[in-house]
Amino acid sequence: MMKKEYKTFILVQTLIIIFIIASFIFLKSDYVKSVPNCIINEKTGLLCPSCYGTRFAIEMANFNFIEAFRLHPIFFILMVYLVILDITYVINVIFNKKINIFKWWHVIIWLILLIIYTIFRNII
């Protein structure tokens, strides 16, 4: 009988792979052109926290990491952090370790950085 943690591991990794493949297919298709423009930017002229997010995702799908970082460094840092979390999750399950690098205050810090970044890029 397979342990519950292995079933969860397989499910999580499968969902991550499906999400990556679906995102890659969508970002390489013509459907990405149908994504509407940012309403906040159109109405106010200000950049919202997720402005340039679609172009960021396209650059990531094209493995152009420097341009992706230039477009949205906060999202890039989040992606790196999520990859590190996933790697530690894999290590924990495969080698039966108890490495836990995720802390809830990381989310708070990321949100504060996102707000500061949004304000900063609208000032400059």
Residue 73 has pLDDT above 90, yes or no: yes
Give me the residue label for tokens 């995102």.
23
Domain range for 27 is 4-123
State the average pLDDT for the chain. Answer: 89
Q: What is the DSSP string of 27-93?
A: HHSGGGGGSPPPHHHHHHSPPPTTTTHHHHHHHHHTT-HHHHHHH-HHHHHHHHHHHHHHHHHHHHH
Q: What percent of the chain has pLDDT over 90?
A: 51
Question: Rounded distance, CA 21 to CA 61, Å?
Answer: 10
Mean pLDDT of all residues in 10-30: 89
At residue 107, the pLDDT reads: 92
Question: Rounded distance, CA 76 to CA 59, Å?
Answer: 11
How many domains does the chain divide into? 1
Question: Rounded distance, CA 110 to CA 112, Å?
Answer: 5
Give the pLDDT confidence of 45-66 residue by residue, as tens digits: 999 999 999 899 989 988 999 9
